[in-house]
């Protein structure tokens, strides 16, 4: 099967397999772009990740809709080609996690930016047609700590500004 510019086999659109819209958080976009640009080889996962970044809608980090898959999310999905249910944490390459799947892998690149209920078709060079369905998404377990830290840092910067203005 030939691959089109979307990483899909020709005919997938005719069969009703349109790509779902994806949304990437601004802070994730920078990390993901660095992963693609810093890659030493154009693997299938890196190529798919790049195509997804090109078509993504970028959202301010604090405006993530409920159920959006972003870096460090825990994702329950079904691989409709086998059909197996899996639960993984979407991580950066090299990050250790018990159930981690790298966003630079084909599955990781397929999942980033999707929401619960989305289906994502693509053709894997080694496995042929693949189709994933997102069943559930849980936020990054460290996200609340990170947001609290960012708020504290912003408060400290504001206090420093106010004190230096005297």
Instruction: Write the pLDDT tens digit of every residue in 11-69.
Output: 344 345 688 999 999 999 999 999 999 988 889 999 999 999 999 999 998 888 889 99
Is the pTM higher than 0.85? no
pLDDT in tens, 83-99: 889 999 999 998 877 78
CATH at 62? 3.10.50.30
% of the chain residues with pLDDT over 90: 53
**Tally of residues, the chain:** 166
Q: How confident is the model at residue 142 (pLDDT cuts 50, 70, 90)?
A: low
Contact by Cβ (8 Å): 73, 139: yes
Is 30 among the domain residues? yes
Task: Identify the pLDDT of residue 90.
Answer: 95
**% of the chain surpassing 70 pLDDT:** 82
Report the number of distinct structural domains present in the chain.
1
User: Which residue range(s) make up the domain with 104?
Assistant: 23-140
In a domain, 43, yes or no: yes
**Per-residue pLDDT, 6:** 43
């Amino acid at each position: 099967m030939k691959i089109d510019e979307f990483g899909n086999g020709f005919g997938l659109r005719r069969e009703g397999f349109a790509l779902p819209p994806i949304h990437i958080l601004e802070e994730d976009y920078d990390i993901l772009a660095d992963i693609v640009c810093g890659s030493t080889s154009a693997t299938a996962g890196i190529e798919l990740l790049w195509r997804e970044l090109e078509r993504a809608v970028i959202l301010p980090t604090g405006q993530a809709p409920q159920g959006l898959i972003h870096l460090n999310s825990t994702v329950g999905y079904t691989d409709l080609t086998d059909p197996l249910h899996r639960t993984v944490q979407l991580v950066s390459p090299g990050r250790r996690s018990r159930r981690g799947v790298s966003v630079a892998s084909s599955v990781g690149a397929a999942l980033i930016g999707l929401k619960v209920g989305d289906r994502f078709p693509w053709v894997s060079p080694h496995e042929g047609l693949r189709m994933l369905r997102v069943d559930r998404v849980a936020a990054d377990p460290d996200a609340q700590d990170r947001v609290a830290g960012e708020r504290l840092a912003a408060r400290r910067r504001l206090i420093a500004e106010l004190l230096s203005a005297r």
